[in-house]
Structure 1
Amino acid sequence: MAKTYQWTNYEQNLLLSAYFCGYVGPNLIAGVVAERFGGRFLIFTVFFLSSIITVLSPFTASRNINHLFCARFLLGICGGFFFSTCHNLISRWAPPEEKGIFVSSLLGSKLGTAVTWPLMGVIIENFGWQSAFYLTSVFSLACAAIWLKIVADSPDKHPSIASDEKEFIERSLSSLLTKNKKLLPMKKIFSSVPFYALLFLHFSDVWGIFFLLTSAPMFMNQALNYDIKNAGIASALPYIARLIFGFLFGALGDYFMKNGVRPTKLRKLFCVFSHIIPGLLLFGFCFVGQNPYVCIMLMTLSLGFNGASTMTSAQNPQDLAPNFAATIFGFVNFFATMSGFISPLVVSYFTQEKNTINEWRMVFILDGVLYITSAIIFILFGSAEVQRWNKQGNYHKELMSA
């Protein structure tokens, strides 16, 4: 696509940034909207609109790069509602001892990345780059239809849930969720030390993920001179690893929870796997970065161990305030996803001369420092205890019926 329209490296990075520019803002309101109106139809709307925008992307690219930038920006707005809304559904459906697996299911988005890169490489090679947009749009529409059919906002709204399962879920959440919806305790949230520890932990996590998502294929192709078709397959390996490790860490964390390990101790222990080990692995690029296969191994292990974030930064909003889990996640994700449009520009700055492995090393060092520093801050100041402001505030309207 870039070759067709002869875009410069700067223009390519600008287009990569467009999605994240749109993605950032909705995080501030996505959780509030989901907690007020429910997540089922909101997620369906995201699926549907994303499909329409994607199918129109080849047309916008043929018109002008600015048109494609706008399309990518709108796609980012849709994406900005997704994860916060999912946290709202998790807070209403997942018993405390099973939230690790529920949160791990959000890594399904990484499965999409892992499958899309190699598959789209083959499709583009045989049918042209436009076909990649059309195929993903059709698949997204199919997912939207399935979602609308099988998902409900809460157990009491599901038409086919077993009565004993419904009673078990509601009983396990009765001490965490209030029956009346409450006003958001903004002052309490933004004066909470555990909230800021979570914010920094999540920021470093998302920075690393966005770097690998937007820049890994470019790194392997341009800096390592690795064949683009093989690079697509190799670039999928870190996301497959993150998916597998994420579910393993989620299941392990749930096991520890069921056996009486305190949530705060568990979150801080898993920071070693989700942040410290990935940071150390990224430092390894300074010493063995000339070999493309070793680089791929380091990237795969780094993102694989980062799958433990399903038990740290990804789950901590559910710990601090189950009543406002979607909103808390939206707030921290708002700041974290700013890295989505900063990261490509940082990469462009460090690699603007010769795009060599030596220039890329600085980016990996920066990632490693962020990972490790944020983990240390969370270990010192973070918490997984339900905060008092989870049940403070004024009451209005039924929570479970919204």
Structure 2
Amino acid sequence: MNLSIALPAMVNGTAPSSPPNASSAVALDDRNGTVMELTALAPVYAWSPEIQGVLLSSLSYGSFVASVPSGYVAGLVRPRHLIGAALLTFSALSLLIPLAAEAGVALLIVLRTLQGVAQVMIQTSQYLIWVKWAPPLERNQLITISISGLMLGSLTVLLAGGFLCETLGWPYVFYIFGGIGLACSCLWFPLVYDDPAAHPLISAAERDHIARALAQQDCEPDQSLPIRAMVRSLPLWSGLLSQFTEHWFFYVLMGYLPTYLHSVLHVDLRASGFLSALLLGVAFISIILGGLLADFLLSRKVLSLLVVRRLFTSVGVLFPSLFSVLLPWVSFSLGVTMAFLVLSLATSSLCQSGALVNFMDIAPRYTGFIRGLSLVFIQLSGVIAPTVSGFFLSQDAQLGWRNIFLLSAAVDVSGLVFFLVFSRAEVQDWARAQTLTRL
């Protein structure tokens, strides 16, 4: 989020011939229509829209290339060391972004690609922590609390980033949040342990509780991978396809929400930023509540694990699909549109306790590798969905939005049908320790 917020301040679209390190005057209209001259607080650069697109995408380049390899490595290396090193690296590189921008756009692209590699190492390894630490009846709430940090971080940068750019200058967005990351990485190493048995501070009662809860779980990582069995596993494919389909509408929303609010509902850019932050706040809260509800139903034995996974996925797909299809018909009202978007994000968050964590049920010993594999499907959705949406809008601005929402619903529901038919919640034979056939 840092670069997305800072990029408008980094680019001088009005004076492309200015030297990169020169201060420039920015003209702003005040409420009385007069013009004020403000001196830029940081260097600006004459980057074309194409270069800006590459800069924003470069993080995904590293993540996409490193997803599967980092997932495999995560099963071989202590996740505590891998996550801590990746967080330290990512944060240190954030501090270097202003210097890289000054040195040249090529170096900045390389740096952002390296950040993408570090980021995906964190995403693939964090679930390995929960495999050892989270009892089955507490797993949903612990995972969703940690996942909600993605929304909270994005919300924080969205609210604070613009203010920092206007007051201190865009480099401080990277300095401040990079510094926070370094502080977190310094806390990570002394406070986090891979296994409860190795932790010096938790009580014996808590350690015994976790050990008893996980006694029957085969979660020790294996260097060899049953690739052939994985390819033939329909439960695994149902989870992977769910990652693709359920992120489709999310990427459409994150990529085009400000455009939709501005072009269709005629909301100014500042207000659209606030409304986007509101939706992230709703997602942050609803993800946590969904995890708490899932564990409540499991601990009280109201529903089985498979029923919870399928029910939460169904609600998290059907309701957002319905609300998204109705959006073009309520565009006359900003209030109704925002209500539909809030309900859509709130209900879609239930998928985090449904199909999106199902891979931990069917193959806990290969959690890191499968998580890396699922990130490939997520990133493919992040590439295809905005591209297709842009094509629809270029063909017909009026009907384009309707087609975007209809296609999003169709993709999401098709993934749901496949998941309901083929999903399972028990450890698969190929993921058990006694599996002999390897490739």
The TM-score, its normalising length taken from structure 1, stands at 0.89
Aligned twin of 1:30: 70
Q: Is the 8 A contact 1:13 1:348 kept in 2?
A: no
2:108 aligned with 1:75, yes or no?
no
| Residues 1:291 and 1:49: Cα distance change in structure 2 (over 3 Å) | farther
Please identify the structure whose Cα radius of gyration is greater: 2
2:55 aligned with 1:15, yes or no?
yes
2:84 aligned with 1:47, yes or no?
no
Q: Is the 8 A contact 2:132 2:195 kept in 1?
A: yes
Give the letter aligned to residue 281 of structure 2: I
How far the C-alpha of 1:279 sits from its partner, in A, is 1.5
2:340 aligned with 1:298, yes or no?
yes
| 1:312 maps to which of 354, 378, 387 | 354
Q: Is the 8 A contact 1:182 1:394 kept in 2?
A: no
How far the C-alpha of 1:281 sits from its partner, in A, is 1.4
- Secondary structure of the residue aligned to 1:37 is coil
Q: Is the 8 A contact 1:20 1:340 kept in 2?
A: no
Aligned twin of 1:85: 125
* CA distance in 1 between partners of 2:257 and 2:119 (Å): 21
How far the C-alpha of 1:17 sits from its partner, in A, is 2.4
2:252 aligned with 1:211, yes or no?
yes
Q: Which runs of 5+ in 1 are unaligned?
A: 396-402
2:229 aligned with 1:229, yes or no?
no
| Residues 1:22 and 1:361: Cα distance change in structure 2 (over 3 Å) | farther
* CA distance in 1 between partners of 2:221 and 2:333 (Å): 58
2:417 aligned with 1:376, yes or no?
yes
Give the letter aligned to residue 362 of structure 1: N
Give the letter aligned to residue 225 of structure 2: L
| Residues 1:222 and 1:334: Cα distance change in structure 2 (over 3 Å) | same
Q: How many residues matched?
A: 394
Give the letter aligned to residue 47 of structure 1: L
* CA distance in 2 between partners of 1:109 and 1:39 (Å): 19
* CA distance in 1 between partners of 2:63 and 2:388 (Å): 18
Aligned twin of 1:329: 371
The TM-score, its normalising length taken from structure 2, stands at 0.82
Aligned twin of 2:99: 59
2:171 aligned with 1:130, yes or no?
yes
- In proportion to residue count, which structure has more helix? 1
| 2:216 maps to which of 156, 162, 175 | 175
Which segment is superposed worse, 112-121 or 361-370? 361-370
1:331-370 paired onto structure 2 within 5 Å: 331-352=373-394, 356=397, 358-370=399-411
* CA distance in 1 between partners of 2:220 and 2:68 (Å): 24
How far the C-alpha of 1:95 sits from its partner, in A, is 0.7
* CA distance in 1 between partners of 2:381 and 2:336 (Å): 26
Q: Is the 8 A contact 1:2 1:12 kept in 2?
A: no
* CA distance in 1 between partners of 2:270 and 2:176 (Å): 19
How much is the aligned-residue C-alpha RMSD, in angstroms? 2.5
Percent of residue pairs identical:
26
1:164-203 paired onto structure 2 within 5 Å: 164-177=205-218, 181=222, 183-203=224-244
How far the C-alpha of 1:121 sits from its partner, in A, is 1.9
| Residues 1:198 and 1:49: Cα distance change in structure 2 (over 3 Å) | same
Aligned twin of 1:398: none
* CA distance in 1 between partners of 2:58 and 2:79 (Å): 25
| Residues 1:120 and 1:277: Cα distance change in structure 2 (over 3 Å) | same
* CA distance in 2 between partners of 1:333 and 1:214 (Å): 18
2:285 aligned with 1:244, yes or no?
yes
How far the C-alpha of 1:52 sits from its partner, in A, is 2.3
Q: Is the 8 A contact 1:47 1:144 kept in 2?
A: yes
| Residues 1:118 and 1:207: Cα distance change in structure 2 (over 3 Å) | same
How far the C-alpha of 1:21 sits from its partner, in A, is 2.1
| Residues 1:179 and 1:271: Cα distance change in structure 2 (over 3 Å) | closer
Q: Is the 8 A contact 2:328 2:401 kept in 1?
A: no
Which segment is superposed worse, 122-131 or 192-201? 122-131
| Residues 1:178 and 1:287: Cα distance change in structure 2 (over 3 Å) | closer
Give the letter aligned to residue 426 of structure 2: E
- Secondary structure of the residue aligned to 2:137 is helix
* CA distance in 2 between partners of 1:149 and 1:234 (Å): 39
Aligned twin of 2:4: none
How far the C-alpha of 1:248 sits from its partner, in A, is 1.2
Give the letter aligned to residue 67 of structure 2: N
Q: Which runs of 5+ in 2 are unaligned?
A: 1-6, 14-46
What do the CA deviations read for 1:27-46 (whole angstroms, capped 9, x no partner)?
A: 21223222211211211122
Q: Is the 8 A contact 2:317 2:416 kept in 1?
A: yes
Q: Which has the higher contact order (CA 8 A, sep 6+)?
A: 1
Aligned twin of 2:37: none
How far the C-alpha of 1:357 sits from its partner, in A, is 6.0
